Amino acid sequence: MRPLLLIANTPSDNTLALRQAVAAGAKRTDLPVLELSPFEANAEHVLNASAIILGTTENFGYMSGALKDFFERIYYPCLEQTQALPVALYVRAGTDGTGTVNSVERIMIGLRWKLVQEPIVLKGAFRSEFLQTCEELGEAMAEGVLLGIF
């Protein structure tokens, strides 16, 4: 089975906990999960993925520089071969998140990847419910791949 690829920057303990929660949720299923930072992830990982969960902080009203670097490296190597790839997005933001969602959605249109659910924005003071949301996201995405519903 091709793995579910989880790509998220983790500049803080909170954001690392979010990524780990997504991975833990996905690992409740039988689908293999590959958890990487955006700087580790490359086009080969994407070409081999069954689906992707992207996670990013909002920085300066945009996705993290780490995730932007990932997209810049994989865009052309993946463009022709990954159309309709199922994707989900979660954003950790201090107060907003809108600019990040918009920026990732624009790239999804360019790559023709398919956002399979509304982006999740986790904003404000960190709350333990965020972890539950992330676990559910990981599990739902992995189940969706296994059931072939995307």
- With contact defined as beta carbons under 8 Å apart, do 5 and 45 qualify? yes
Interface of this chain with ligand FMN, residues 77 to 136, rule: CB under 6 A: 92-97, 126
Tell me which residue of 148, 102, 122, 146 sits closest to 8, measured CA to CA: 122
Residue number, 19 or 92, with CB nearest to ligand FMN: 92
**What is residue 82's three-state secondary structure?**
coil
By CB under 6 A, how many residues form the interface with ligand FMN? 15
Q: Cβ 76 to ligand FMN, closest distance in Å?
A: 28
Binding mask 17-56 vs ligand FMN (x if CB under 6 A, - otherwise)? ----------------------------------------
Q: Cβ 12 to ligand FMN, closest distance in Å?
A: 3
Concatenating the DSSP letter of every residue in 94-143 gives SS--HHHHHHHHHHHHHHT-EE-SPPEEEESS--HHHHHHHHHHHHHHHH
Answer for which of 2, 40, 61, 132 binds ligand FMN (CB under 6 A) is: 61
